[in-house]
Structure formats: structure tokens, C-alpha cells
Structure 1
Amino acid sequence: MNYLGLSQEQVASTGKSLNQLLANYQLYYQNLRNFHWNISGENFFDLHEKFEDLYEDARLKIDEIAERLLTLQLRPLSTTSAYLESAKIEEAGKVLDSHKMVKIILENHKILIADMRTIISRAGEIDDEGTIDMIGGFLSEIEKKSWMLDAWHSRSRKSFPVEV
């Protein structure tokens, strides 16, 4: 048992999922930097600052995830090759269309959200409330950001929320 009252065997599954999230966040972060640097045209003012806000937030989340792994007495992935090997998110490459950029970000969010839900489930199995609390906060934030990006992306399609 470590100082958190959890054994290495208990935290192994959560740690593997945290490293998966870390790798995905690194690729997501780089995609955001790419889009921030390369956005142009009529949506420049809408998206240039938004992409910067998103990558600054991602940078902080990356550090928090790595530090949570260390708190659990596990090693975070820390090389570009490890991130590329582990990540489900792919490098966006050269994208010049602003709507495609936002669509890629929303696809990246879907992967991050799935990772977060897996972590919450695995951490719940071992009563790791610290990880649950941290990732639960991340999940709530990214869901809201996804909603806002989707609203921007959808405005030309005139879609409206479904009444319940």
C-alpha cells in the first residue's frame, strides 16, 4: 500500500488509462497549436483566440494528468514517440478550412471524453476519489466546450436543441 492506501496492483488499470489520456491530450494540444497558427479568413477572429484558450487549457490538463500519475506512484509517458504510439487522436496535419478544424477538435473531444469516462469507472472500482474528482472536473469542462464549439459549427445548419 502506498501513502494513499492503494496498492500498485489497484492503481495499474487507472494508471494505464491516465497515460492513454495523457497521450491523447498531447496530440490534441498539438492539433490546437497547429490550428491556432494556421487559421485565416473570415473566421480568424472567432477562432484564433478560441484555439489559444483551448491549447492553454490543454497544457494545464497535461501537467495535472502527469502529476496525478506521479501521485499514484506511477510514471507518466513523457516522450513524443510514446505519445504517438499510444494516442488514438491523430495529428491533424495541414488543415486550412476553419469548419474542418472545429470538426477535428470535436472528434478529438469525443476521444478525450471516452478516455475520461473510462478513468472515472476504473478509479471508482478502487475508491480513488482524487482521480475521480480531477477527471470529473475535466469531463464537465470539455463537455461544455464541445457544446459551444458544436453551436458555432452548427450555426450555418440552423439546428436547434430538441425540446423535451
Structure 2
Amino acid sequence: MNNPNIIGLKESDCQEISEKLNILLANYSLFYQNTRGAHWNIKGDDFFTLHPKFEELYNNLVLKIDEIAERILTLGSTPNHNYSDYLQFSTVKESKEVAEGKVCVQNILASFKTVIDLQRDLLDITEKAGDEGTNSQMSDYITEQEKEVWMYNSYLGK
């Protein structure tokens, strides 16, 4: 662990938060790759609707992946970068079905649920640690993603 005291947090708190962020990073990485697969392989009547929507989503996810990795570095730890680590720690699993629109959207919604739940867990941990930087980041992500969940659910007619 590098010097987490440069941002005024306890080393043990930084270690715990970084470990949770690495789990979140793993989940985002699988979510991202699954969304890329859906973008590349979507077929059928919804192609012109979903193809650009999936591209918008994976571009957003890759930004978050970078921001999470940079936050881990800010906390004095090292972000995982190997897919073998991601596969080991991610609750989001690799998608096999990436051509049928409704299935892809259901997979996206399940991935959103996973990352939102992890981010809510991080809110509790970071609040206790006084880590406003990570707390704010997670809060912003949740606010944005709750709207996305609503929109994808609306697409499914829910």
C-alpha cells in the first residue's frame, strides 16, 4: 500500500475500500465486455434501437472502469487488471446470449443490480471511514444508473 495518509484517511480503511473497489472493478469489467458483445451481435427488429444504446452504455462503463481504477490508486492500492482476477471476483458472469434484444436488456438490468448493490455497500463503508471522495463517486453512479434501470425496464414494458 502506498501512502494513503496523503488524502487523510486511515490505511486500514483505504485497504478495505480498495478491496471492495477491486470487486466493483471486476464486475464493471465483465458488464462492459458483455455489453460490447451485445452491441456487436444484436440482431432483429430492435437492432437500430439497441445497437447505439449498447454503444452508449459500454462507452459509459469504460469511463467508470477508469475512474474506479484511479480511485483505487488514489487510496494507495493497485487496481486489478487481469481478466482472470475479474472472472474470479465478479458476480456478473460472461454472457453467452448476445443476439436477442430482450435477453440482452435483461442481462444488462441484472448487471446494473449487481453494481448498484455493490456501490450501496461501498456507501456504508466509505461514510464510516470519512472517505467523501469514494462516497460521492458511488452516489453519483447510483443516481445515474437508477435512471438507466428505469429506462431499460421501460423498454421491456415494465
Task: Sort the TM-score into its range (normalised by shorter chain).
Answer: over 0.9
- Hey, what does 1:95 align to over in structure 2? 98
More displaced, 85-94 or 48-57?
A: 85-94
The 5-angstrom pairing of residues 110-149 of structure 1 reads 110-149=113-152
Contact 2:9 2:130 survives alignment (8 Å): no
Match of 1:90, SS state, is coil
- Hey, what does 1:162 align to over in structure 2? none
Give the gaps of 5 or more residues in structure 2: none
Percent identity between matched residues is 40
Q: In structure 1, how many angstroms separate the alpha carbons of the residues matched to 2:99 and 2:9?
A: 47
Give the alignment's TM-score, normalised by structure 1: 0.92
Contact 2:18 2:77 survives alignment (8 Å): yes
- After TM superposition, give the deviation of residue 2 of structure 1 in Å: 1.1
- After TM superposition, give the deviation of residue 122 of structure 1 in Å: 0.5
Q: In structure 1, how many angstroms separate the alpha carbons of the residues matched to 2:14 and 2:135?
A: 13
- 1:85 pairs with one of 74, 88, 101: 88
Q: In structure 2, how many angstroms separate the alpha carbons of the residues matched to 1:127 and 1:24?
A: 25
Q: In structure 1, how many angstroms separate the alpha carbons of the residues matched to 2:52 and 2:71?
A: 29
- After TM superposition, give the deviation of residue 94 of structure 1 in Å: 3.4
> Is the radius of gyration larger for structure 1 or structure 2?
1
What count of residue pairs does the alignment treat as equivalent? 155
Q: In structure 1, how many angstroms separate the alpha carbons of the residues matched to 2:54 and 2:150?
A: 15
User: Residue type matched to 1:91 in 2?
Assistant: E
Q: In structure 2, how many angstroms separate the alpha carbons of the residues matched to 1:153 and 1:74?
A: 40
- After TM superposition, give the deviation of residue 40 of structure 1 in Å: 1.2
Give the alignment's TM-score, normalised by structure 2: 0.95
- 2:14 pairs with one of 2, 11, 16: 11
Give the gaps of 5 or more residues in structure 1: 160-164
